[in-house]
Amino acid sequence: EAQVTQNPRYLITVTGKKLTVTCSQNMNHEYMSWYRQDPGLGLRQIYYSMNVEVTDKGDVPEGYKVSRKEKRNFPLILESPSPNQTSLYFCASSLLDRGTGELFFGEGSRLTVL
């Protein structure tokens, strides 16, 4: 089954404790990206990657890091989480070379930083 898998789905952590949210897709998509969803703000792009070793900032990259060492994986790293990073996070992937280029989303990861 074609899918984007995120882990963990739910996480409660404390300020300053480094964490990683993993994202993996099995569709051989070149493009992967991370979003955060906050009430009243919709989804905002954090980082994106056009291919392996190619990453760039989205609209709200502060406090986040990413890496793309393999095509299928695109982890989101919070080096020192703060309460304002409490949010619902989505990973998504897309095929670049044909089709509509729509995003395929993971199920979301709800993060609470105390």
Partner 1 sequence: AQKITQTQPGMFVQEKEAVTLDCTYDTSDQSYGLFWYKQPSSGEMIFLIYQGSYDEQNATEGRYSLNFQKARKSANLVISASQLGDSAMYFCAMREGGWTGNQFYFGTGTSLTVIP
Between 3 and 18, name the residue whose CB sits nearer to partner 1: 3
Least distance to partner 1, CB of residue 109, Å: 10
Between 76 and 92, name the residue whose CB sits nearer to partner 1: 92
Between 24 and 94, name the residue whose CB sits nearer to partner 1: 94
4-39 residues labelled b (16+ CB within 10 A) or e (exposed): bebeeeeeebeeeeebebebbbeeebbbbbbbbeee
Residues numbered 27-86 forming contacts with partner 1, rule: CB under 8 A: 31, 33, 35, 40-45, 48, 50, 56, 58-59
